Structure 1
Amino acid sequence: LNGDNLYDPGAVDALFADGPTIGAVRVDDPSNYGVLSTRDGLVTDVVEKPTDPPTTLANAGAYAFPAEATAWLDVPASERGEHELTDVLARVVDEYEVGYVELDRWLDVGRPWELLAANEWKLGELDRELRGEVHEDADLRGSVVVEAGARVDAGVVVEGPALIRSGASVGPNAYVRGATLIGEDAEIGHGVELKNSVVGRGTHVAHLSYVGDSVLGRDVNFGAGTNVANLRHDGKAVEFTVKGERVSTGRRKFGVVAGDGAKTAINTSLNAGVKLSAGATTAPGETLTRDR
């Protein structure tokens, strides 16, 4: 399985049942993917990012190969120092009758905002479980998981789905809305509102802040009064910088991406679609409208 894709377990079962097989997904625009050429229900070729796609079946990065295919990885590495799985795939297609399984649910998680979609998917499958320390005056609604070693303080409201990992603390008087993941040893403090976000391990949003529809890496620190905008006034999808170009996230609401170790000073305002690089900082009272 490709490590940056998300799969439904039932689809993986189908791959094993019918192998050798390739997982495929129907897409409207296959030109950005490897595309399967097929004949009589079998895969004849995989064409990378074609200008004239032979089908609308994109390679979903899930394979059931014959056992001997593992030996075919013992070849010289590419210029990037990697053994290319696509080389093995080409050989399997040449030497075997390879079928394909269409996946009903699949997600390519290659860009930051797609982490939110992945989070929404997987947290939506949670069952409520409270193993950590939850204050009697906290209000946890719906599918909320508090792992052992996590702490939820007085006055906190959590609307699931939400996952609070071991060592994390929330509150007092914080408001967490799903779908939200709070990583190990993270701190969400007094008067903080957190909505539909991914918060990395060891990250602190400790005082009087709003963070919505955002991805915060590890060991990020948001100073008191840091607020994130997550909505354009014109109602259009928020844009984000990818490889130096602004592209649409396809999301009406999207906040910021903060790299590992980024830090904001007190009363920082972050515009929708802003990226804070790893280790980036802001000045007190600063309004950030461009990536840093």
Structure 2
Amino acid sequence: MALNIVIMAAGKGTRMKSATPKVLHKLAGRSLLAHVLKRCEPLSANARIVITGHGAEQVEAAVQAEGLSFVRQMPQLGTGHAIQQAVPALVGDGTTLILNGDVPLIETSTAKALIDACAGHALVLLTVDLADPTGYGRIIRNADDGGVLAIVEHKDATPEQRLIHEGYSGMMAAPTAALKRWVGQLSNNNAQGEYYLTDIVAMAVAEGLPVLGIKAHNETEVLGVNDPVQLAQLERAFQAQQAEGLMRAGVRLADPTRFDLRGTLTHGQDVEIDVNCVFEGQVTLGDGVRIGANCVIRNATIAAGARIHEFTHIDGEAAGASVGEGALIGPFARLRPGAQLGAEVHIGNFVEVKNSTLAKGAKANHLAYLGDATVGERVNYGAGSITANYDGANKHRTTIGDDVHVGSNCVLVAPVTLGNGATIGGGSTITKDVNPGDLAVARGKQVALTGWTRPAKKR
């Protein structure tokens, strides 16, 4: 049986007061529409159709993917009018699932329940029990069999009907052949001059087709976004869900209300995360990892027993970054793309590492830069030292062998190689290779002038 998934994403979102189309606003680092598409992936639809309108080109460019098609609703004349535009793209005579692009947290299991209940012959509405149903269409059920008789809009509801707390979410599954027929019969004879998809409920009832209501697991999964306030509220609700899931899996969060996950976090046992930490992209934390307060970690793998001290920023971007077992990073350290740190490496305060590998036990504890470098085991890299890796046009690599000691305030001008066991005197600018075991000093000779008088300020 063919399955169509239609996502309505044509609205302007006037109350967002933004040039960005509403469905492209971000929730936990991903657009609202991308959330919906992601949750539909396991459903194996024969056709996935996004209805665009306001900012159509921008929306389509942002989410385009293989197997995803777009239809445009111009102008936007209501939800029924939106589905009318999608009718030519629907395939088969099975089921069409209709979702909203600004309702990002619909559960895959809920969507599947709608599809299964429809089975190509019933109209199935997703409903929700609301503490405050103001503004929602009320679900009127048959007292005998519990079937849905009608949806009554809030403004049209009687005082008795307004006491009903079951509201319509705006999402449904319908028999595709019947849906095509129903939307073709819709009228815009109403105060707003729009075509309402909810009018098909009365058509289904009149035809004697089953009309069912399936309740969402919770209110959060059917909450939409109309303004920045609602977006922020949904963000916190979603983060609370993620935090609870991590804690139930054994992660210790110092304060789940001060935690943000904007991607995927994979973890081992006995992981501890302090307050105000942000995780983005793909992050993996091994057993016993401890993350200090106010860290931002993006696209990184951190091995067992590593400690990430406070205010550390790790951003692997596409290349990724990795921290070895038992390493100590920070506070106030920065790891950039291509930073690959071995076991027991120490990266201290105000040290930046980019596109560099550091072998087991290497240390750069203070105020240093390592870019495009290969660093051996047990290297001590002094405070204030840098690799000068860029000549104004090209990047060059620095190679530092095992057991090298680089003194403070040194400049290693790449390409350059320091052999195993070499020592670089503090304050040196090294432009040539240094042989294993050698001491290299490259700085001006110290001069002392006896009897010199410091200039005095003229009065």
Larger Rg: 2
**TM-score, normalised on structure 2?**
0.32
Say which structure, 1 or 2, has more relative contact order (CA 8 Å, 6+ apart).
1
Q: Going by fraction, where is helix more abundant, 1 or 2?
A: 2
